[in-house]
A and B are shown apart, each in its own frame.
Chain A
Amino acid sequence: MSSHPFRDVAIVGVHNTVQARRLPEHDSTSIALIGALGALADAGIAPHEVDGVVGPDCAQIALELGLGPCTRRPSSLGIPTVLDAAALITTGQCDVVLVAAGGAGIHTERTLTAPWTRPTNELVVGYGLFTAAEFALMARRHMLTYDTTPEQMAVVAATIRTNGHVNPEAVYSGRGPFSPSDILESRMIADPFHLLDCAMTSEGGCGVVLVNAERAAECEKPLWILGGASDSFGPAYTVAPVWDFQPRRDADPAGMVGAHAAKSAFAMAGLTPVDVDVAELYDPFSFEVIRQLEAFGFCSPGEGGPFVADGNIGPGSLLPVTTDGGTMSFSHPGINAQQLQRVIRAALQLRGTCATNQVARAEVALCSNGGAGALFCDVLLLGRERP
């Protein structure tokens, strides 16, 4: 008998609502609810079976779906919400847990960058810091240390944006295809990031349903959590993003955030990076994908740039990355939903039902959230086989 901590939890329902630049009929909670209902329908589970809701809108979802009394966990950000939901089930607190997230009606003042990109902390706000600049300050150190180039970063952006171009469900479907020179010729935002090196903004919702193994036996194609962990070095966008910030002398510095989480997740799964068939990496900026490939052990420190330039992350390659177009092209509805969408895409890859860029016979998928500029990074490994 396996002693895997998540042996008795399955992901049985996933759903993305329509994603668009604007969804004027919705706010964040209403579109999260549509995502929740879609995920339940996908799972073949009736709303009244849900006895736990996880996510920033959990209380309103409990109210509107008529779930009371039920358990709530107002945690946020994709992978941690899935791990919290799984923990509610493994500890017997819940049998059927709904995770939902949405973003709509938040980014309304279009002369400004999106509100979630603009930190208000007193030590950074006066210098015009925003997420692109924060991530650029991390990327610069990598460029100085390893000679990583804007051309290598452009390969990442061109690959992911072309993945979105071919995806009819992506907000920027049909906008490409993109070559690295298209990325490099777009206007500069925060050096080394051009416009097309950066995530876009959009609106949309999504949901995931997790159940215990007993209930999963009645569901089609249950998927399993093989490993998961999170790293944080502090609050995002509050202190200087310093690659070499190393509060624990026996651990990696902040520039390698996610390395510890990946080691933990792989250890829990009993797997190594070569076992991963598809990597749904969180892609707020092109460089972050290069960094994560190194931090998660897909290549050595400093090898991420050559790894992507050598053609290892596109469709049909060694490690297809962010196959739906990610936050650059598929959708980026704010703080939460686009993080959960990495988990959803990983699940669809393992089911083998992606309409575009389906990885043949994918058995193990890695997904990630966050990034060095935000001082946190989460890693989740999903598989077709029960651990």
Chain B
Amino acid sequence: MSLLLPQPLSVSTPRPSFRSEAYWEGCRQHRLLYQQCAVCGYRGLGAFTVCAQCHRTSPVWEASAGRGSLYSWTVVWRPPNPGFRVPYAPAVVRLDEGVWMLSAVIGCEPGELHDGLRLSVQFHPASDEITLPYFSPAEEGHS
């Protein structure tokens, strides 16, 4: 048995940039935000300042319902630094809003991971300042 869990505090803490202050503030409040172009509605990959579709410079932050499907995953047994608790499962999640995001799946066994697995967001502290969104299998009736 190797239940996938959140990482211990301060093992590897993101340093917010000016692009993403709103994202991290949302996480602190347990709200998952994503960026969308205010003009054409394009939802990009990563944090952006210019829309990759219409090239306007007015992205806005929208709140996600925090649900999505598992798109890809790996199960790591040799971490980049020994502070990480293994195994852990970095994953690409396709949010229901149509946005891909990188996260990690927790709350199940590695063997339960499969394409399209329904997931919901869960927030866990990564340090005193940073809260990190993880995803766990969605409960019955909510997917």
Residues on A lying within 8 angstroms of B by beta carbon are: 111-113, 117-118, 120, 122-130, 132-133, 136-138, 140-141, 144, 187-193, 195, 234, 238-243, 245, 247
Contacts and interface: CB of A to CB of B under 8 A. Distances in A.
A138 B90 CA distance: 12
Number of chain B interface residues as a range: 35 or more
Given A113-B80, A137-B92, A238-B46, A123 B12 contact: no
A160 B92 CA distance: 30
A127 B46 contact: no
Given A123-B20, A240-B45, A245-B100, A112 B81 contact: yes
Given A112-B81, A190-B74, A122 B16 contact: yes
B92 to A, nearest CB: 5
Given A112-B80, A187-B78, A123 B102 contact: yes
A112 B79 CA distance: 8
15 contacts: A120-B15, A123-B102, A126-B126, A127-B104, A128-B79, A128-B80, A128-B90, A133-B90, A144-B115, A188-B77, A191-B75, A191-B76, A191-B110, A240-B101, A243-B72
Nearest to B73: A140
A116 to B, nearest CB: 11
Given A137-B74, A245-B100, A111 B20 contact: no
B78 A242 contact: no
B49 interface: no
Contacts of A191: 74-77, 110
B90 A129 contact: yes
Contacts of B17: 122
A126 B27 CA distance: 13
Contact of B72 (A120, A129, A140): A140
A299 B7 CA distance: 41
B74 A127 contact: no
B46 A239 contact: yes
